[in-house]
């Protein structure tokens, strides 16, 4: 019988985060990042959806770089949020109706 709740080798916050990442195949922190993205986008929607997406993708991009340095997420998360950031910035710059905002 295997006890998957045995976390006796965890002695710091870093090893706890690494354990959560390893035991879920890297999905735990990815889902946390996506949750942060949607919560920040929802809270900033009054400033316009393009500004909300750009702000939340920037925040998640920075957080995902930190989590990548800690080896808690894969490279796909900073790349994905960087693409969201670049796409929303491209839309904001080249959109005719949003150029005056």
Please give the Cα distance from 38 to 97 (Å, whole number).
25
* Residue 65 covered by a domain: yes
* Residue 15 covered by a domain: no
* Residue 2 covered by a domain: no
* Residue 83 covered by a domain: yes
User: If you average pLDDT over each of 14-28, 49-63, 83-97, which comes out highest?
Assistant: 49-63
Count of domains in the chain? 1
* Predicted local confidence at residue 8, as pLDDT: 65
Residues contacting 67, CB < 8 A, separation 6+: 29, 33, 73, 77
Range of the domain at 45: 25-94
* Predicted local confidence at residue 3, as pLDDT: 56
* Residue 75 covered by a domain: yes
0.85 surpassed by pTM: no
* Predicted local confidence at residue 97, as pLDDT: 64
3-state DSSP assignment of residue 57: helix
* Predicted local confidence at residue 9, as pLDDT: 73
* Residue 57 covered by a domain: yes
* Residue 18 covered by a domain: no
Please give the Cα distance from 84 to 61 (Å, whole number).
9
């Amino acid at each position: 019988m295997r006890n998957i709740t045995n976390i006796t080798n965890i002695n710091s916050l870093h090893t706890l985060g690494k354990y959560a990442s390893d035991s879920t195949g890297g999905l735990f922190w990815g889902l946390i990042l996506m949750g942060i993205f949607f919560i920040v986008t929802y809270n900033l929607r009054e400033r316009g959806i393009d500004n909300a997406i750009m702000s939340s993708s920037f925040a998640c991009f920075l957080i995902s770089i930190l989590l990548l340095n800690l080896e808690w997420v894969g490279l796909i998360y900073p790349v994905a949020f960087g693409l969201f950031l670049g796409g929303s910035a491209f839309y904001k710059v080249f959109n005719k109706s949003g150029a005056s905002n």
